[in-house]
Amino acid sequence: MTYPLGWSVIPHMLIRRERWPGGYKTRGSALVYPGQEVQPDQPVFRLEMPEGAQSVREFPGSIAPTSPPASQLAGFHAAQKYMHANVQQMNGMVVSGMRGRVVDITRRGGVIIETRAAIIQGTIGAGNQVAGILTFWNSSYGFHPSSPGQVSPPVGVTPSLPISTPTILVVPGPLNFAMLHLAMNMGVAGIVASSISSRDLEGFLGTNLIALINSMDIELAYEPLPPLTVLLTEGLGTVAMPPRTINLLTRYQGSMALLSGMTFIHQSIYPELIISLPLQEIQQNWRPVLPDPTLIVGARVRICSGSYEGAIGQIIYLYNYMQTFASGVRARAARVRLTDGTTLILPLFLLERIG
């Protein structure tokens, strides 16, 4: 696929993003001004709800999030009708999730922030924008929060109270319905994982995935979704997370990040994780990248499908004419040398440039 920013993993980039938690008929009242420097955990605006309007993800203390239909739970109980107060907000305050400079205030009250960040772009996801601490999942004990002094219950045990720190959970492999259900019950803000079956994702969301990502009204389509944002780096199925993605997430474990699961094909909107770089790294090692997705000789690529899916290599030759493959498909092709020395001839649509 072609990522909006060029590559799926970008270690250093200067970008601008609007901080907006989503929500139908909501507005924000800015607490900052253009030109101001902000920190990831700093409140940047207060949500204002019109009388009678339904609350949004950041403001759910008194409402019941929509649960998947019972027929889709595949043996699991419906999600709790009432969630504990979400850690995304305090008295309606929304934190920035990014370190950087305020550029503008939008008409709806969102805050546009310019930040130097590491970015991971997903292939598909769901859920509004949330901020939280990057925390790796542990298969034996649910997950280990990055904050000291907190203990995670074992998998399969639903805690009586949600976690007290905003958390973005990193699962370096495939997800399943049970993991999503557990994370939501624990009050996790979002999950970054490699993949999931379409059945499990649709069962959790309680909606048709194709209809959701092709919706023309973003805010309205997301109103009934469960309160958990999901980003999948590889998409649907049971595909492992690439080492370069795991390495970047490991490097910034414990950092505050901003996650969006929004996926809308018509508007070329895809899920992304933004991790503002530490000040020391910016001062000592700032090397902004301008990603170029063009497939050229010498480009470092990753195979996206087939028996060599996930393998890394370098393009050593581009064919001028379409090639015919064993499947009968005719397509433009490249000769790729893998890191283990193997040479393959592959159609261009199976290659993703990563460097």
The DSSP annotation for 248-286 comes to: HHHHTTTSEEEEE---BGGGTB--EEEEEPPHHHHHHH-
Question: For residue 86, what pLDDT is reported?
Answer: 43
293 contacts 348 by C-beta, under 8 angstroms: no
Digitized pLDDT (tens) for each residue of the chain, 355 residues in all: 567 776 788 889 999 999 988 776 778 889 999 999 999 999 999 988 665 544 444 433 322 333 344 444 433 333 333 343 344 554 588 999 999 999 999 998 899 999 999 999 998 999 999 999 999 987 654 444 444 334 343 333 334 344 557 899 999 989 999 999 999 988 899 999 999 999 999 999 998 899 888 888 877 888 888 899 999 998 888 888 888 899 999 999 999 999 999 998 888 889 999 999 999 888 887 888 777 788 889 988 888 878 888 788 999 999 999 998 888 889 999 999 998 889 999 999 888 888 7
CA pair distance 66, 63, nearest whole angstrom: 9
Backbone conformation region of residue 308, classed left if phi is above 0, alpha if psi is from -120 to 50, else beta: alpha
pLDDT at 77 (0 to 100): 33
Q: Which of 133, 129, 130 is nearest to 164 (CA)?
A: 133
Residue 186, token pair as written in the block: 């624990």
Residues 256 and 353: their CA atoms lie apart, in Å, by 28
Element at 205 (helix H, strand E): helix 198-205
State the first-to-last Cα distance of the chain, in angstroms, to the nearest integer: 15
Residue 141: what are its φ and ψ, rounded to 5°? -130, 30
Amino acid, res. 84: H
The CA–CA distances, whole Å, from 160 to 83, 152, 185, 186 equal: 11, 12, 9, 8
314 token code pair: 């370098």
CB atoms closer than 10 angstroms to residue 177: 21
Compute the distance between CA of residue 102 and CA of residue 124 in angstroms, rounded to an integer: 28
Exposed/middle/buried for residue 24 (C-beta within 10 Å: 0-12, 13-18, 19+): middle
Tokens of 131: 């901020």
Quick check: 98 and 258 in contact, CB under 8 A?
yes
The answer to whether the beta carbons of residues 4 and 121 sit under 8 Å apart is yes
Tell whether the torsion through CA atoms of 278, 94, 187 and 238 is positive or negative: negative
Contact 200, 176 (CB under 8 A): yes
Q: What is the pLDDT of residue 231?
A: 96
Beta bridge partners of 326: none
Assigned token pair, 99: 């370190």
d(Cα 94, Cα 73) in Å, to the nearest integer? 32
Length of the chain: 355
pTM of the model: 0.79
